[in-house]
Structure 1
Amino acid sequence: MFDFARKKSELEFLEKQAEDPTLWDDPVRAQQLMKKLSALREEVHEWEKLQKRITDLLDLAQMEDESLLPEIEQEVEDLQKILEQKELSTLLSGPYDQGNALLAIHAGAGGTDSQDWAAMLQRMYLRWAERSGYETEILDMTEGEEAGIKSVTIAVNGKYAYGYLKSEKGVHRLVRLSPFDAAHRRHTSFALVEVLPEIEDDDEIVINPEDVRIDIFKSSGAGGQNVQKNATAVRLLHLPTGIIVTCQNERSQTQNRENAFRVLRARLAALKQEQQEKELEALRGEYQKAEWGSQIRSYVLHPYQLVKDHRTDYETGNTQAVLDGELDGFIEAYLRWKR
């Protein structure tokens, strides 16, 4: 899962390719190579820097100077945290794990309560992305009639965004006293979270224009008079698979069209990956169909406070912290469980 010598060798190979004077004769290929070179160079340099810090620390410890003990202890603590993060990143070895993610949330059955739950999940993931240093962009959103949202699609941009967020894919269940029930009774709400890898340069994900039907219509969401008066929303129907994508959050039809194709590429990549996993699991005799009711995580706010992941059994009683975006414990537990 991690071969430092191979990465250094690959870096040297890419650097030689980058020196080729004919490289920019093909700008698309050149940009792809330079992007890959930059990412690999950064990764190799990070490990070399870490190795130097460890060597310097060992030299410091061998001096046997007690006055240096606080400094040594602090450096040990810092290095331990970095190594734990590095260890976690070695679990992200999938083809799209290092890239950006598209996260979609859909309210389930349950009316206003489920739509409010979908909005709570949207806030939770936006908070997590912010505290993790990721940039976010809402590509499409359909608001609920009374409160909350029916669905939303969010682009999450940054290194390992997909690798970390893929742990969130599935049905999320909320149990609470409903604020929309006059009798204030306990309700159970469901929302489906989809996590897709954003595809930029996968040669195997090719969309034939003849396979896509494009419809233009007026936006039904908020956005001011310009959005309401002009037909700026875009709906794509991928005829071979039946996948439908809509984007209406931007004022520009061109921007909505570009975003819709971003989502379509991601859905096709996810479909391809899912088919490969099904074939592999079928060979192993492990495959089970994922039904709507098979939630991956429960958030109980009444009669007690608990968030529990049903795959890993990781749980916490600090429900407010989780809803405020503290998801790293769940993500790490999933990655180790998946391995």
Structure 2
Amino acid sequence: PGAGGTEACDWAGMLYRMYSMFCEKNGYSYKIIDEQKGDEAGIKSVTILISGYFPYGYFKGETGVHRLVRISPFDSNARRHTSFASVSVTPKIDDNIEIDIKQSDLKIDVYHSSGAGGQSVNTANSAVRITHIPTKTVVTCQVERSQQQNKDIAMAMLKSKLYAMEKAKLDKEKDSLKGNIVDINFGSQIRNYVLEPYKLVKDVRTGYETSNATKVLDGDIMGFLES
């Protein structure tokens, strides 16, 4: 989540629900790799692995900032609030692709897996956090009961992130040669979801839009993925 505190955490949770419902309706399977619950509502972050037909091809366009405008359910004065959440999509790297990661560049921490409300999932230190020191990239996994399984999944995630970072760097260099650099950050959202004072979901890149915001938040996003 970005700007907006509890609002942003709730919005991140709504986006997770939107993507999970899309998967369920379209034959994709998904698995939660790591999840950090919000203090009052929603989620601070969630990492999911999506499997099925060409998932990266469909979802890669979702990378960027998503902006929500609505009457806040957390505001007793029923004022309109704007919230932001960021989505990052990286491909699962084929095992045959070599990503050189030095062991000396890694900091590996293990800790107790925690469930809802901070309750311990098990008594063993099975959850794994890996920090790639040169890039400050952090990945965590606590979905499995085995520390080794969580470590393997976290390493695969790290490889995917480093691969995506290197690809983005090369793409940016190519774009700079073309004079076409677009930064994705808060304030330059890729899609607006307006629920008040009217209903409209619009992709600012393609211009694709629909007034049926409820349907979109219930997972009907194929039009946006294909636009």
Give distance in 2, aligned partners of 1:302 and 1:192.
Answer: 21
Q: Is 1:215 equivalent to 2:109 in the alignment? A: yes
> Partner of 1:23 in structure 2?
none
Q: How does 1:121-270 map to 2 (within 5 A)?
A: 121-222=15-116, 227=121, 229-270=123-164
What is the root-mean-square deviation in Å for CA atoms of aligned residues?
1.7
- In the TM superposition, residue 220 of structure 1 has moved relative to its aligned partner by 4.0
Q: Is the 8 A contact 2:2 2:186 kept in 1?
A: no
Q: How does 1:35-114 map to 2 (within 5 A)?
A: 107-114=1-8
Higher RCO (Cα < 8 Å, 6 or more apart): 2
Give distance in 2, aligned partners of 1:226 and 1:305.
Answer: 41
Q: Is the 8 A contact 1:141 1:249 kept in 2?
A: no
- In the TM superposition, residue 287 of structure 1 has moved relative to its aligned partner by 1.3
Q: In structure 2, which of residues 198, 215, 219 is the aligned counterpart of residue 321 of structure 1?
A: 215
Q: How big is each residue's C-alpha offset from its partner over 1:125-158, in whole Å with a ceiling of 9 and x where there is no partner? A: 0011112211100000000111100000000012
Q: Is the 8 A contact 2:107 2:132 kept in 1?
A: yes
Q: TM-score, normalised on structure 2? A: 0.94
- In the TM superposition, residue 216 of structure 1 has moved relative to its aligned partner by 0.8
Q: How big is each residue's C-alpha offset from its partner over 1:253-278, in whole Å with a ceiling of 9 and x where there is no partner? A: 22221221121011011101101111
Q: How big is each residue's C-alpha offset from its partner over 1:25-61, in whole Å with a ceiling of 9 and x where there is no partner? A: xxxxxxxxxxxxxxxxxxxxxxxxxxxxxxxxxxxxx
Which consecutive unaligned segments of at least 5 residues does structure 2 have?
none
Which consecutive unaligned segments of at least 5 residues does structure 1 have?
1-106, 334-339
Q: TM-score, normalised on structure 1? A: 0.64
Q: Which AA in structure 2 matches 1:270?
A: A
Give distance in 2, aligned partners of 1:211 and 1:253.
Answer: 20
Higher-Rg member (1/2): 1
How many residues are paired up? 227
Q: How does 1:255-334 map to 2 (within 5 A)?
A: 255-333=149-227
Secondary structure of the residue aligned to 2:30 is strand
- In the TM superposition, residue 247 of structure 1 has moved relative to its aligned partner by 1.6
Q: Which AA in structure 1 matches 2:184?
A: A
Give distance in 2, aligned partners of 1:148 and 1:297.
Answer: 20
Q: Which moved more, 1:268-277 or 1:249-258?
A: 249-258
Change (3 A) 1:210 1:176: same
Q: Which AA in structure 1 matches 2:68?
A: L
Q: Which moved more, 1:152-161 or 1:220-229?
A: 220-229
Change (3 A) 1:205 1:223: farther
Q: Which AA in structure 1 matches 2:222?
A: D
